[in-house]
A and B are shown apart, each in its own frame.
Chain A
Amino acid sequence: MATASSAKKIKKTSKLGPILINGSLLLLILIWLLPTFALLVSSFRTRFDIQTSGWWSIVPHRAWMTDRVIDPDPNWDRDGVMNIEGAQGTFEEFRNGITLDNGTRVFWIGNKRIGKVEIQAYKWTSNFNFTLENYGQVLGGKTFEVRQPDGTIKTEQADNFVGAFLNSLTVTIPSTLIPILIAAFAAYGFAWMRFSGRRVLFVMVVALLVVPLQIALVPILQDYVRLNLNGTFLGIWLAHTGFGLPLATYLLFNYIRGLPRDILESAFIDGASHFTIFVRLILPLSVPALASFAIFQFLWTWNDYLVALIFIGAKPDVQVLTMRLAEMVGSRGNDWHLLTAGAFVSMVLPLVVFFSLQRFFVRGLLAGSVKG
C-alpha cells in the first residue's frame, strides 16, 4: 500500500513539475518580451500615433469607423429631441452615440455650436502605419531651423547617436577590462597566497561592497579637479574600476578558491611560480567567472548615467549614449516619441555582448555559490 501510494505520488509530481516549470517560464518570458516587443513596435510608429493610440492597435480589431460626416443643420433643436439619419435622441444621447438597428451608429462630435455628425460602422481595422523617421532622427540627428536676427533661416544639425555610441564604447571597454584584470590578480592572491594581513585586507574589500558609490562622488571629484582628471576618459575608467572592484574581487575569489587544490599543488611541486600558475592554470580555468563578471560590468557601465554625468559631463565630444538618450527627449520632453527608437539603438550592443557570452553566463552564475 505504502509503496503504491508513494509511487502514485511520484507520478503525480512528475506530471505536475514540468507543467509548473514550463508555465512559470512562459510567464517570465512573456513578462520580459512583451514590453520589449511593445517598445519595438512603438519605435516604428509615427509621433501622432504614439500619442493617440496604444501599440496594440496594430493588431486587427473591430472598432467604430467613420463612413461619412454631415454638418449639423442649424435649425435642429439642440436643447430638445433631434432626429438625425433615422436616429432620435437628445444632444447628450447623440454625443454618446446612438446605434441603429442596421448596425450603424450616429455620433455627434464637438459641441452644440461647431459640432459634426459622423455616421459610423463597426468594422475590422488595424493601424499599420509604420515609419522609419524615428530611427532617422536618432541616427542622423535632429535638424533645427533657427531664425537669425537678420531674418535668414539657418539649419542646424544636432548631434547624432554615432559620436555618443563611440564614446560609450571608449568608456565601457577599458572600464570592463581593467577591473577584471586587477580583480583576477587580487582574487588569486587572496585565495592561494599566504601573507600576513590577508584576512583583514579581504574583509575590507568585501566590506566595500555595501558602500554606495554616491557618497564617493564629491571626494573623488575633488581629487580629480586637483589632478586635472575630470572630463577625461581616464578619469571615468578609474572611477568605474574603483566602483566595480569589490564585487569583481569577491566574485572571482570565491570561484578561484573553489578550483581543485591538487592541480595547484602539483604545479607548485613541478616548480611553477605564482605568475605561471596564474597565467597557465587560473586564467583558463576561471573563464566562466571572468566572462560572467564581464557581462555584469559591461552592462552596468554601458547603462550608467550618474558616474558619467559627474565625471565626464555632457559635452558633445565626450558625451556617452545614456546622456544623449536623455537629451533626445527635447528641451521640455516634447520629443519623447524618439525615446523608443533611441532605446533600441542603445540596446543593440548589450544584446550582442550578452548573446555572445551567454554560454559562459549560466555557468558563471554559479561562481562563488559553492565555497571550496
Chain B
Amino acid sequence: MNRKFAPLFVLLLVASLLLAACPAATPTAEPAAEPAAEEAAPTAEVAEEAEAAPTAAAAEEDAHPGEEAAMAKGLTELAAAYHGDYEGTIVTMTGPFTDEDAVKFDNSMAAFEEATGIDIQYEGSKEFEASITVRVQAGDAPDIVDFPQPGLLGTFAKQGKVVPATVMIPEAWLAENYLQSWLDMATMEGPDGPAQYGVWQRFNAKSLVWYPKASFDAAGYPIPTTWEELQALQDMIVSDGDTPWCVGIESGAATGWAATDWTEEFMLRTTSLENYDAWVLGELPFESPEVKNAIESFATIWNDDSMVSGGRAAIVTTFFGDAPTGMFQDPPTCWLHKQGNFITSFFPEGTEYGVDYGVFYLPGIDAEYGSPFLVAGDIMAAMTDRPEVRAVMQFFSTGEGVKGWLAAGGALGPQKDVQLDWYGSDLERDIAGLVNNATSVRFDGSDLMPGEVGAGSFWKGMTDYFSGAADLDTVLAEIDASWPR
C-alpha cells in the first residue's frame, strides 16, 4: 500500500510547497498608484500645520528639526514625512549600487528612515540596465530608479513612464539648490515636450590626474597647473627614462569606456561647450573636424610608446583597474593616471591620500575654453507619484540626502547646500574644491548618448582604433553610422 501511494505523497508534497509559497506572494507588491484624492490630502494637512508650526514644534517633543527646514524650502511632503505622516510606508528603489556602494547608500538613508518611518527598499543589481528595461516594459517598475546613465532615463521619459521632477518638487527650490548646468543635464524630451526628469543625488568627478605623491616629491617633479607645464612634466619623465602615463581601457564587455572619457575631456578642452552639447545630442557628427581633432590631441600621447606604460599595445589589454598599479611600485613605472575619483578603490590597500598619492586637475588647453570639468553621477527618477515617494525625491534634492555618503567617502554632492565640512575625507573635500573652481561642468557624454553609441559603438570604435584594428576615419564613420536616427 505504502509503495503504491508513494507518488501521491510526492504530489501532495509539491502541492504543499506551492501552497506554502502563496502567502509569501501577497505582501511583496504595494499598490502601484494610490487615488489622486488621497495624495492631495496630506498636502492640505501640512499647509494647515505650517501655520501652527512654531508652536506645534515646541509643544511636540519629538518634532524633527528637518520638518521646519523642509517647510522653509517649500518641500511640503518632506515636511509631512518628518512629521511622521507616512510612517510605515514603503518606497521601492532600483539601481546599480551593489556591495560597498549598497552599504554606503543604506547607511546614508538610515537617519531619514528612522526619522520618518518610511522604509526605503533598495534593490541593487549588477545587470541593472538590462533588468530595468524589462521591468518597466512589464509594468513592474519600482517607485524610484537610480540611473547612472541619463541616456537610459531619456528613453523612459520619452515613453512617458517617468514622473517629471518638477511635479514632485517645487521648481523654485530646484533652481535654488542646483547649478543651472545640473538642471540642464536633467532636462529631457518627454511626451509633452522637454521637462526635468529626476534629481541628481551624487556625482563623481572625472577630470582628475592621479600621481604617486611620495615618489613625485622624491624625484622633485612639479605639479602642473597649465597644459604647457603638464607637457614639460611629460618630457621630463621621458628624459629620465620612464613612461609618464598609466593607461588601460580593458573592462570586459565594456572595454573602451575609459577612452571615451579621454575623448570627452579633450572635446571640452579643444572646442566650445556648444559644440560639445551638439556632439552629445548627435547634431555634431563624430566625423567632424572638432571631434577628430579632440581624439587626435590625446592620441598623440597614447600612440607614443615612450609616453604610455607598456607602450600603445598594452592600452587595450590592461584592465582599467590595474592600470594605476604601476604608480605604486617602488620606484614607479608610470607616474600619471587620469581617472574618476572612484579609482581609489583600486589603489593598493593601505595607500593614503596626501602621503602615497595625490591628485590634480587635468589643466585646460586653450584659455578660450576655460577650465571645464567632466562629471558623472546618479540621477534619481520617480516612476510613481505618491506622497511618500515625493518626500523621498525631495529628500534627494537636499544636501541632507547625500550627507551620509559624503561622510563615508566615495561620492560628491551636487546640491548647493552641501557643506564642505560634511566630506569625511580630505580627498573628496579637495576634489569638491577643484570642481568649484571649474568654469563649466559637463556630464560624461557617452552616458548621455543613446545606448547603441554611448555604451556600444563608441567603446568599440575607440578600442579598434587604439588596438590598431582600424584607422581613425573608418572608426568615426562607423560610430556615426550606428547612431539611431
What's the Cα separation between A235 and B18 when bound, in Å? Answer: 10
Q: Known contacts A142-B99, A309-B130: does B29 contact A112 (CB below 8 Å)?
A: no
Interface members, chain A 51-77 (any B CB < 8 Å): 51
Q: How far in angstroms is the closest Cβ of chain A from B32?
A: 9
Contact between A235 and B25 (Cβ–Cβ < 8 Å)? yes
Contact between B140 and A229 (Cβ–Cβ < 8 Å)? no
Q: Which of A181, A222, A230 contacts B28 (CB 8 A)?
A: A230
What string of 1s and 0s marks CB contacts (under 8 Å) between A36-57 and chain B? Answer: 0000000000011001000000
Interface members, chain A 165-204 (any B CB < 8 Å): 174, 177-178, 181
What's the Cα separation between A310 and B10 when bound, in Å? Answer: 29
What's the Cα separation between A268 and B257 when bound, in Å? Answer: 69
Contact between A228 and B331 (Cβ–Cβ < 8 Å)? no
B139: A residues at CB distance < 8 A: 222, 225
Contact between B22 and A234 (Cβ–Cβ < 8 Å)? yes
Say if the beta carbon of B38 comes within 8 Å of chain A: no
B4: A residues at CB distance < 8 A: 279-280
Contact between B408 and A331 (Cβ–Cβ < 8 Å)? no
Contact between B29 and A228 (Cβ–Cβ < 8 Å)? yes
Q: How far in angstroms is the closest Cβ of chain A from B1?
A: 13
29 contacts between A and B (CB under 8 A): A51-B322, A91-B241, A92-B241, A109-B331, A110-B332, A111-B237, A111-B241, A114-B215, A114-B331, A115-B241, A147-B408, A149-B403, A149-B406, A221-B138, A221-B140, A222-B139, A232-B25, A234-B21, A279-B7, A283-B7, A309-B127, A309-B130, A314-B123, A327-B98, A328-B99, A330-B99, A330-B100, A332-B342, A332-B345
Contact between B99 and A335 (Cβ–Cβ < 8 Å)? yes
Q: Which of A113, A144, A331 contacts B97 (CB 8 A)?
A: A331
Q: How far in angstroms is the closest Cβ of chain A from B30?
A: 10
Say if the beta carbon of B60 comes within 8 Å of chain A: no
A28: B residues at CB distance < 8 A: none
Contact between B134 and A144 (Cβ–Cβ < 8 Å)? no
Say if the beta carbon of A12 comes within 8 Å of chain B: no
A310: B residues at CB distance < 8 A: 131, 134-135
Contact between A218 and B137 (Cβ–Cβ < 8 Å)? yes
What's the Cα separation between A148 and B409 when bound, in Å? Answer: 10
Interface members, chain A 113-128 (any B CB < 8 Å): 113-116
Contact between B18 and A181 (Cβ–Cβ < 8 Å)? no
Say if the beta carbon of A27 comes within 8 Å of chain B: no
For the complex with contacts A228-B29, A230-B29, 6 further pairs of A-B residues with Cβ separation under 8 Å are: A47-B349, A114-B218, A149-B407, A229-B25, A309-B130, A327-B126
Q: Mark A residues whose CB is within 8 Å of B.
A: 47-48, 51, 91-92, 95, 109-116, 142, 144, 146-149, 151, 154, 156, 158, 174, 177-178, 181, 217-219, 221-222, 224-225, 227-235, 237, 279-280, 283, 305, 309-310, 313-315, 323, 326-335
B41: A residues at CB distance < 8 A: none
Q: Known contacts A111-B331, A328-B99: does B18 contact A222 (CB below 8 Å)?
A: no
Say if the beta carbon of B49 comes within 8 Å of chain A: no
Contact between B24 and A232 (Cβ–Cβ < 8 Å)? yes
What's the Cα separation between A305 and B240 when bound, in Å? Answer: 51
**10 closest pairs, A vs B, by CB?**
A110-B331, A221-B138, A234-B21, A111-B240, A111-B242, A331-B101, A314-B125, A113-B219, A327-B98, A232-B25
Q: How far in angstroms is the closest Cβ of chain B from A127?
A: 18
Contact between B25 and A115 (Cβ–Cβ < 8 Å)? no
Q: How far in angstroms is the closest Cβ of chain A from B115?
A: 13
Q: How far in angstroms is the closest Cβ of chain B from A118?
A: 11
Q: How far in angstroms is the closest Cβ of chain B from A110?
A: 3
What's the Cα separation between A102 and B203 when bound, in Å? Answer: 59
A114: B residues at CB distance < 8 A: 215, 218-219, 331
Q: How far in angstroms is the closest Cβ of chain B from A51?
A: 6
